[in-house]
Amino acid sequence: MDILLLAVELIGTFAFAVSGALLAARKGFDVVGSVLLASMAGLGGGVIRDVLIGYGPPLALENPVYLAPVLVAVVLVMTGLLHETRLRRTLLVFDAVGLSLFCLTGTVIAWEAGLTELACVLLGISTAVGGGAMRDVVANETPQIFNPRGVYAVPAMLGAALTVTALSLELSLVWAGPVIALLVFALRMISLRRGWRVPLAGRRFSAAEGNSGPSAD
């Protein structure tokens, strides 16, 4: 694999691993639980991608270098160097970095495996949101992807679609990649600051519409 692609993967892994370690700290897990949750957050998206592509063992299991960013993240949180109270904004920045990098690398790796364009886009999205979803599901939390404040999956969808477009046009990803990642990152951060929302999935039931109170939630 390209050394540049690997470097981008590792930065994204670190960003998501930090989010997993911070969640483990918030839930009172011990440091071993932190390693497990940070691994799922940091490596889960790539593992889901590789399993869906139909590779043999996922890259993250075969290459020891993937464990380094996970362990660094756990140590930084355990020692208090990364702390949610003070660095809440920093956490969101890291998470957005992971999102913007993984929708790129996920799409590229699916493309290199020879998948159709649609499959590349879907795998790019799955890579970007999969680790965070696994982190939240395993920790028994409602996943962040369903939080209607800010937009989360939309930037990943846009990034994956732009990456496939760039690959189809045979643009150099050395130039197109940073532009796409920056766009995804900016979209996510601006949506958080401005509190952007997309429409709800449906009307929630109101008293006027039906009196079946219990089924309303």
Least distance from a copy of itself to the Cβ atom of residue 78, Å: 6
The residue (of 4 and 88) whose beta carbon lies closer to a copy of itself is 88
Nearer to a copy of itself, 31 or 171 (CB): 31
Closest distance between a copy of itself and the C-beta of residue 11, in Å?
Answer: 21
Give 144-153's long-range contacts (Cβ < 8 A, gap of 24+). Answer: 148/197, 148/198, 148/200, 149/192, 149/195, 149/197, 150/188, 150/191, 150/192, 150/195, 150/196, 150/197, 151/187, 151/188, 151/191, 151/196, 151/197, 151/198, 152/99, 152/188, 153/125, 153/129
Compare residues 140 and 172 and give the one whose CB is closer to a copy of itself.
140
CB of 173 to a copy of itself, least distance (A): 22
Residue 122 or residue 167: which is nearer to a copy of itself going by CB? 122
Q: How far apart are CA 108 and CA 112, in angstroms?
A: 6
Token pair of 127 as six digits = 């890579």
The pair of structure tokens assigned to 20 is 């997993």
For residues 120 and 166, is the Cβ–Cβ distance under 8 A?
Answer: no
User: Minimum distance between the CB of residue 7 and a copy of itself, rounded to whole angstroms?
Assistant: 20
- Residue 34 C-beta: closest distance to a copy of itself, Å: 3
Nearer to a copy of itself, 53 or 173 (CB): 53
